[in-house]
Every structure is written in structure tokens, then in C-alpha cells.
A and B are shown apart, each in its own frame.
Chain A
Amino acid sequence: MAKRLMKGAEAIGEAAIRAHCRAYFCYPITPQTEVAEYLVRRMPEVDGVFLQAESELAASNMLFGAAAAGARVFTSSSSPGIALMSEAISYIAAAELPTVFVNIMRCGPGLGGILPAQGDYLNATKGGGHGDYHCIVLAPASVQEAVDLTMSAFELAETYRTPVFVLGDGLIGQMMEPVEFKEGVVNPPPERPWATTGCKDRDPNLVKTLFLDPAALEVHNRKLAAKYREIRANEVRFERYNMDSRPETVMVAYGTVARICKTAIDFLKEKGHEVGLVRPITLYPFPHEELLAIARDEATRNVLVVEMSNGQMLEDVERATRFLKPISFFGRQGGIVPAPEEVVRELELLAS
């Protein structure tokens, strides 16, 4: 199939359609309003639902309702909007509803700005809302990967009955790259016998999150915990770049930043210096084992974490590598995207 040149936000909208998602609830916010502006035209073509809600609070609770009624649903927003969705995300995780949330991150905290950032790593991977839950978090580094991971997100949401995040920075939403939509990747939604679809010929279904009996709630918590264990065991995805040379320095970066690190690696390779990169594709579950193995490898001398934040994934890298090797951090904030030259400079400092 011919490739199409598409903006990340629009490509995400199309990917959802290809993944048989037929309902989208939203509220405008830069830098991803183009998802809505694309789907307002596209959803009617497939008899799907498009609704601009009065707020993110409402949009995300509409998602709860629609998912619990059996529909395959998603929403997209950016950092401040995702913060408002945290309530619903907690409820959705508790009720075990398959849903997809796309967060095209902008810089914060507060109103911050609208330029790219990765400041919602902790929000996405460690909860965000209240209570004991996790979301699967997928981090694309290109528009094509945004498409592939959005499709994958629907599948994972279905398999584990859990909210799944696609977490990209503003550039992923705004830039255009050629994309291809592979056919038949995601199956249509299966029967959802638990959904509230009317109790004709069956006992009534109930979708709820209240457990007044502490013993019953603990059972529920443990069931969720078992699910997260299974996700951690089965769904870890990452990319290794220039790692076969067993480089002394290994970078860890995700999303757009990982691409910038690759350019830095290629530049240094030409000058005869080998540097490697591990790019987590799933941020939850995090590639703990891979990073531990790298930390244990005697060839590894040090680790450099690069983020568009003040050091959020850094905490996971520290945990994964158990501080076996020295870890440095390079981050830019405020919507400033680090340039490859800056990463090269950091690497040269480390080597000297």
C-alpha cells in the first residue's frame, strides 16, 4: 500500500478507525486538536460517534460510560487535559474497562506552554489518579510508530481489560511523516458479556467500583495486581540501537528524544566512538531486566538518561540498574527539545 504523508495527530485518528474504534470523545487542546478535527469528518464515514464534550472531565467519563456499554472507545488530549481525566482513568482501571488514552505531552507544570515535553512520565506510569492501579504506557518515536502503537493499544486494552496510554510529545502530534496502515492487525471488539447492554435473556450486569467490604476490595486489588504482574511478564517492548558493540556508554531515552540520541550516536560512530541506546517502547511495563543486564555487563561503564523533563524516567532507570553503574542525566524543559549536538557534548563530557 502506498504511504501517506500525515500529521501525527491525524494519523493517530486514522489508526483508531483502522483498529475498529467507533467512538471518540474529546475536548480541544494544543498540540493535538487535529485528532478531533480529523475524526469529526472521519467518524461519520464509518458510522462512528464523534463528540466534543464540555471538558476533559466529561469526555473521560463519557469514555467510561461508552466502554461499559460495550463500545471500543478512545480519547486524546494533552497534559493539562489528561490531568483532568485522572478521575475517570482511576475509575476505568478499577472497573477494568478496555479504553485508550492518547496524551500528546506539552510542557508544564500548570498551564506551562504548548511546546513538546515529557513531563507526564510519572503521571502515566505511576498512576496519575488515586488508588492502586497502573496503565499500560506505549511511547512512539515516529508517526508510523504512533500509528502502530495506537492500534496495538486497542488490542492490549482488550486483552487485559485496562486503560492503555499512548504517550507522545508535542512533536509526535505535530510533525508529518509517511505512514502505512497495515490491514487486519487488530481484530474487531469481541463480545463483552460483562457490558451493560440490556439484560434480555440474562441476569443484569453491573459495572461499578465501590467495594464497601474491605475483604472484597482487597480481593479486587489483588486481582488487579495479578493482572499487572502478567503485563510486566509479557508485554515489555524496547529497541536496542548500536548495542552489539557492547559500548561503554549506554543511553536510555524514549520517544522523540531517542531519535535525537540516535543522530548523536551516528555522529560519534563516524568519529570512531561507540555509544549505545536502549529505547523503552513500553514505559509501563518498563524494561527492567534488559537494563539490569546492561548494568551487569562489565563492558558498560556508565549510563546516560536523556529526557525532556527534569528526570522522571531516570528514577526507573536507577531502580532497574540498581545503581550498579554511574548514571548521568541530561534534560531540557520548558518546551525546548535537545539538539543532537547537545547530546554529543554530554557524551563527550562523560568520555573525558
Chain B
Amino acid sequence: MQDECKFAGFGGQGIMTVGRLLALAGLQAEREVIWIPSYGPEMRGGTAYCTVVISGLPIGSPIINTPGSLVAMNRPSLEKFAPTVRPGGVIIINSSLIPVSVPRDDVDVLEVPCNQIALEIGSVRSASMVALGALAARSAIVPFETLCEVIESEFKRKAEVARMNLAALERGAEVAREKPRFEPPAADA
């Protein structure tokens, strides 16, 4: 089984970092991982995105045009990538910045006010961490505890940042757990 997740938003929203944390958690869970960044002119002020692939088998193509899940931190990235998510996949929408939803009934769409939650915790900088928590809780792409362990060890020299990120992760997960599970429509519906 191969899981892929695309993280997308503005440069500076911590998109690359949360992707890397997810990849590290995959590695810790002894699975094959690959982290592929967008790089290029679009990075200056525009949309930044990265894709993380986690698999039980060696990973072939690093080009993923139809990811299993999407974390959209701003509107342009939602509009660009929402149509590409595979049926049955998960889309996390940062509803603090994105006033619209996704007109799709074949994917699990979860609206999470990431910026607002992050601000409540202490800093808007952990907004993408809230989204990561929601994704992890919703998709079981990696064990939630593993992700917590990775955050602890990655920020072990910055106790305050670690605390805030863990809180953000947990709050994101709570939002995900509160919403009823998604039932894909029957094939013949």
C-alpha cells in the first residue's frame, strides 16, 4: 500500500517542514518514504508545495499527479490541487484562509480553522501543524504517536516550539475526530 499526501500553501506557511515531519514519521515507522518539493519560480511569493510518499515497498515514481490526500493551506492551492485527489482520499482545508469548500462527494473533506486554532495556542506559525494533526487523525497515514515522537525529537532543543507544535497537532486531530467518518457514496449512486 502506498500513501501520498500533498501539502500546499504560501511560501512561509511551514509547508515544507510539515511534509518533512510526516516523512520522518514514516521513516521511524520503518516504511519507505520520499519527500518531493516544488521548486522553481513559483516559490517566490507564490504557491509552495511538497508531496510525501509513504509505502511498504520501494517507491517507484516520485511524480504523483493524483495524490491520496491533500492539505490545502490557501485558496490557490485548494483550487489547483483539489480536483487531483484520488476518489476515497482526504482533503484538509485551512478554513481560516479559505472561504470555500470542495464540490466533491467522493473524497473526505475536512475544514479545519488552522490559523485560528494556532493563534489560540500561541502562534500562527503552527497552523500547518494543526493541519498535519488533522490529516494524521483522519487518514492513519502514520501512527499518531510516531508523529508526536518525531516532533519531540526534531524540536528537542526548542522546548517551547515543541510544546506548541504538539498542542497544535493534538487540536487538529481533535477536530478530525469530532467530525463523523466519511462514507464514500455507493458506486452505483
Contact = CB atoms under 8 A, between A and B. Distances in A.
Direct contact of A and B (CB under 8 A): yes
Interface of A: 3, 5, 30-31, 113-115, 170-171, 174-178, 256, 259-260, 262-264, 266, 335, 337-341
Given A5-B24, A5-B27, A339-B65, A177 B39 contact: no
B23 A114 contact: no
Q: Chain A CB within 10 Å — which of B32, B36, B39 has the most?
A: B39
19 contacts: A3-B27, A5-B24, A5-B35, A31-B39, A113-B40, A171-B36, A174-B39, A175-B36, A175-B62, A176-B35, A178-B27, A259-B62, A260-B60, A260-B61, A263-B61, A264-B61, A339-B63, A340-B60, A340-B63
Contacts of A256: 62
A30 B37 CA distance: 13
Given A3-B27, A259-B60, A175 B40 contact: no
Given A5-B20, A114-B40, A178 B63 contact: no
A177 B33 contact: yes
Interface string B119-163: 000000000000000000000000000000000000000000000
B118 interface: no
Contacts of A262: 60-61
A30 B39 contact: yes
Interface string B9-38: 000000000001001100100001111110
A263 B66 CA distance: 14
Given A114-B39, A175-B34, A259 B24 contact: no
A285 B17 CA distance: 40
Nearest to B21: A5
Contacts of B34: 175-177
A12 to B, nearest CB: 16
Contacts of B36: 171, 174-175
A260 B64 CA distance: 10
Contacts of B32: 178
A35 to B, nearest CB: 14
A264 B61 CA distance: 9
Contacts of A115: 39-40
A178 B60 contact: no
A175 B23 CA distance: 11
Given A177-B34, A340-B61, 12 more contacts: A5-B35, A31-B39, A174-B39, A175-B37, A176-B35, A177-B33, A177-B35, A259-B60, A259-B62, A260-B60, A337-B63, A339-B63
Interface residues of B, number: 19
B33 to A, nearest CB: 6
A284 to B, nearest CB: 25
B40 A171 contact: no
A174 B20 contact: no
Q: Chain A CB within 10 Å — which of B24, B27, B40, B61 has the most?
A: B61
Contacts of B61: 259-260, 262-264, 339-340
Interface string B29-68: 0001111110111000000000000000001111101000
A17 B34 CA distance: 23
Q: Chain B CB within 10 Å — which of A115, A177, A262, A263 has the most?
A: A177
A112 B85 CA distance: 31
A174 B37 contact: yes
A93 B62 CA distance: 35
A42 to B, nearest CB: 19
B33 A5 contact: yes
A180 B73 CA distance: 33
Contacts of A260: 60-63
Contacts of A263: 60-61
Q: Chain B CB within 10 Å — which of A31, A114, A175 has the most?
A: A175
Nearest to A115: B40
Nearest to A178: B27
A264 B33 CA distance: 19
B158 to A, nearest CB: 19
A155 to B, nearest CB: 25
Contacts of A113: 40
Contacts of B20: 5, 176
A346 to B, nearest CB: 14
Contacts of A341: 65
A127 B32 CA distance: 37
